[in-house]
Amino acid sequence: MRLETLFLAATVSLSLASSVWAFEPLTIIDQGSFSAGGTVITEAGTFDNKAPLNSAGQTFHGDHAYSFYQVPEAPRELPLVLWHGAFQSGKSWETTADGREGFQTLMLRRHFAVHTIDQPRRGKAGNSTVAAEVKPTAYDQLFFDMFRIGQWPNYFDNVQFDTSEDTLIEFLRSVTPNTGAFDPEVVSDGVSALIDKIGPSILVTHSQAGGPGWLTAIKNANVKAVISYEPGSGYVFPENEMPEPISGSAGTLKPEPVSAEDFAKLTEIPIVVYYGDNIPEDPTDDFGLDNWRTRLAMARLWVAAINRHGGDATLVHLPEQGIHGNTHFLFSDLNNQQIADLATAWIEEKGLGGMAAK
């Protein structure tokens, strides 16, 4: 099947940012969606067609992962699996809040097939096998600070985020709740099942997905590389080489133990970790900022541990490369073309960017 998809070859006016963006044509040769993994709950008893509102004998499918995929013309050999962070869904990688092309499309233009996923108990994979209460909680200002857009109500002077009111509103409306407790094993099992269906691929994680991303790479040899944007939790170390927890005003960040055998699996693939700007070097009582000071510090210890065991891990702190103003969502920032170029160059440097055989 061949699908000709034009991403608005003419100039398109977008009211979100009161701006005009021109999108070049893009040819998609295949697209679709599917679920993978998960569990099935069966209620005791016998199903009665005449009393279908009684759950006896009925089943419930939940805790699976979801993927929407697109394949561009002349695709590269390894697809990308884009995995969102906390309070987010696959929307993170789609059109940016100010109406520009998101990573999903930018990487298609660079000839990668792209799987944009929702992890179990989130978004389009919302069926959870454990109960949870989803209630409105006023956290917009917390997210503004935590995602390093600025310090509410002020934006950082150099921020790579469109500062119009409409853009901020659109960004905040991307927040999505868990429909069940966040469980790293459940979500990594679901994504591993997706990768079983996809085959060899490059895992691209953001924030909360960082830790489950390492677990997925441990569980599934089809993960051939990991690109991690600001991993926020789940830094795994050999159980006999655990560093000290790192404390700050946002709490204490603890490393997670894994067996030496499992840790060794992470040394067999290339890994790159990116962090953006406006992360303090010294402790501060600013909760949203100090949260990332501790995580960047733990990431440095983690990368050093991978390399000490013979692995190939790189940490890129963008301001040290002369790239400034990036938020926690660096792949959707105003300079996301540059961020996409960095990822593409790294993949090619590792010899993983070749075109698929015809």
Q: What is the reported pLDDT for 86?
A: 97
Q: What is the reported pLDDT for 358?
A: 72
Q: What is the reported pLDDT for 192?
A: 98
Q: What is the reported pLDDT for 357?
A: 79
Strand 28-36 relative to strand 65-72: parallel, antiparallel, unpaired?
antiparallel
pLDDT of 119-143, one tens digit each? 999 999 999 999 999 999 999 999 9
User: Can you name the residues that pair with 334 across neighbouring β-strands?
Assistant: none
The pLDDT-based confidence of 233 (bands split at 50, 70, 90) is confident
Domains annotated on the chain, with CATH: 30-349 (3.40.50.1820)
- Kindly write down the DSSP assignment for every residue of 133-202, as one continuous string: -------HHHHHHHTTSEETTEEPTT-SS---HHHHHHHHTT----SS---HHHHHHHHHHHHHHH-SEE
| Helix, strand, coil percent content, the chain, rounded in steps of 5 | 30, 25, 45
pLDDT of 320-348, one tens digit each? 999 999 999 999 999 999 999 999 999 99
The pLDDT-based confidence of 21 (bands split at 50, 70, 90) is low
- Stretch 194-206: mean pLDDT: 98
| pLDDT score of 311 more than 80 | yes
| pLDDT score of 303 more than 60 | yes
The pLDDT-based confidence of 298 (bands split at 50, 70, 90) is very high
What are 296's two structure tokens?
């960047």
Q: What is the distance between the terminal CA atoms of the chain, rounded to a whole angstrom?
A: 15
| pLDDT score of 198 more than 70 | yes
The answer to whether 215 and 150 have CB atoms below 8 angstroms apart is: no
Q: What is the reported pLDDT for 24?
A: 87
Average model confidence (pLDDT) across the chain: 93
| pLDDT score of 58 more than 70 | yes
